[in-house]
Amino acid sequence: MKTFYLSGQRTFGNRGCEAIVRSTVALLRAQFGDVRILVPSVDVERDRAQWPDAAQQGVRFVRAYMPRMAGYWVHLQRLPLPFLKRASWPFPLPEWLKEQLSSVDAVLAVGGDNYSLDYRIPSPIMGLDNFAMDLGKPVILWGASVGPFDKEPGFVPAVKTHLSRMNFVAVRESVSYKYLTENLGLANVVQMADPAFMLGRETVDYSKFWPDCPNGVLGVNISSLIERYKRPEQDLRAEVAEFIRRAVRKHGLGVLLVPHVHPLQGEHSGGDGTYMADLLERVRDLGGCVQMMPHELNAAQIKYVISQLRFFIGARTHSTIAALSSGVPTVSIAYSVKARGINRDLFGNEEAVLPTPELSADTLERSLGWLMREENTLHATLARRIPQLQDEAKRAVARVSSLLA
């Protein structure tokens, strides 16, 4: 029985991370049969409750490496000192983590965009993956978007060396592939679909929160994350609220607000649901035509709900992947290379991408109009392309198998 460690994973509060883990587990089981997969967690009991039958899939939730000094170190690396940008993770790994890594056959570095500057220089994650490589374990960056690192030029040589040590780097879209192969000159890069394109669905009763309108339901996901990328004068929720009014009153659509990153039960900090609660209040006068999906659902249940929609417009990458892989015509609100690359690979263009700085009631309505005009074409394209993307993921896991043969 093969054993894998999924580095970069910490919590299922981000349902996109949960979707990657669930789908990766399914891919590994399809390729290897019975497997043992160590999934790091900052709260084992809470993540286990989110996926009750995980143990039957070979999953063992284990303590995540979350050193207290990590925040101080990554803040320190923001200083304009080149030697800090080049510095590796300077702290020793605890013995319990070394034992876990020593016990596995391979490490898959998951997380979607951990190897980017979205969360500052990723030196803690690099430190763990480096240790596994020093042990001689195969390490694969799995289904990720990577970079760009241009804003931290002093860091580029260090991350290039680090990535070149991996057995291979499997990126989930062509923008990252081009950056790594052309800008960084790496030769160990392959392209695969995001594993979450393989995520299954778990049936859930959605009748209690389903909008009541005649022409089908539009799903909408926005989050506080896109506030970082908006124009300074924008009130994003006011723009989205105005768009929702038009969708309901002009087009007869119901609107379902879809949280996709939200703390699990027991946590009280904000998430998509908290951010969109204000949006829901702004359109209360529209009555039952606008509802919000409960934020407690797991990734597979959310995908099932999304699959029932007529259209979807979303900012969270994995909310759009859930929609696209369910054949739902979708527009991605883009704040990074992820949405651009995924749409370019899926459709051959970026017509379904709405850059965050351009977001307004008018641009959202134009995007909805485009979805309505292209609805049949998009259904046909997705029906043809999604199985091809899923085959990419299967080929990538077969490549992992060849490393362990």
CB 77 within 8 A of CB 71: no
Q: In the chain, what is the straight-line distance between the N-terminal and C-terminal CA atoms, in Å? A: 12
φ, ψ for residue 349, nearest 5 deg: -160, 180
Neighbour-count burial of 181, counting CB atoms closer than 10 A to its CB (0-12 exposed, 13-18 middle, 19+ buried): middle
Neighbour-count burial for 262-296, b at 16+ CB within 10 Å, e otherwise? bbbeeeeeebbbbbbeebbebbeebeebbbbbbbe
Instruction: Report pTM.
Output: 0.91
How far apart are alpha carbons 15 and 168 in whole angstroms?
26
How far apart are alpha carbons 324 and 379 in whole angstroms?
9
E strands, 137-187, in order = 139-144, 168-171
Q: What is the pLDDT of residue 308?
A: 97
CA–CA–CA angle 154, 160, 162 (5° rounding): 110
**Fold matches, 2-199+388-404 and 207-373:** yes
How far apart are alpha carbons 57 and 402 in whole angstroms?
22
How far apart are alpha carbons 47 and 160 in whole angstroms?
33
Second CATH level (architecture) for the domain 207-373: 3-Layer(aba) Sandwich (3.40)
Per-domain boundaries in the chain: 2-199+388-404, 207-373
CB 345 within 8 A of CB 173: yes
Q: What is the pLDDT of residue 72?
A: 67
How far apart are alpha carbons 357 and 362 in whole angstroms?
13
How far apart are alpha carbons 111 and 250 in whole angstroms?
40
Helix ranges (DSSP H) in 33-143: 44-50, 69-76, 82-86, 95-102, 123-134
CATH number belonging to the domain at 2-199+388-404, selected among 3.40.50.720, 3.40.50.11720, 3.40.50.10680, 3.40.190.80: 3.40.50.11720
Q: What is the pLDDT of residue 185?
A: 96
Chain segment 205-228, per-residue pLDDT in tens: 999 999 988 899 999 999 887 787
Q: What is the pLDDT of residue 269?
A: 56
Q: What is the pLDDT of residue 151?
A: 85
123 Cβ partners below 8 Å, 6+ apart? 73, 74, 77, 87, 88, 89
Q: Which residues of the chain have pLDDT under 70?
A: 72-73, 75, 77, 90, 119, 229-230, 264-270, 337
Alpha carbon distances (Å) from 278 to 198, 209, 266, 272: 33, 17, 21, 11
φ, ψ for residue 348, nearest 5 deg: 85, 5
- DSSP state letter for 117: S
Q: What is the pLDDT of residue 202?
A: 95
310 Cβ partners below 8 Å, 6+ apart? 215, 216, 217, 218, 253, 328, 329, 375
How far apart are alpha carbons 259 and 241 in whole angstroms?
16
Q: What is the pLDDT of residue 161?
A: 93
How far apart are alpha carbons 381 and 405 in whole angstroms?
37
Structure tokens at 379: 């259904």
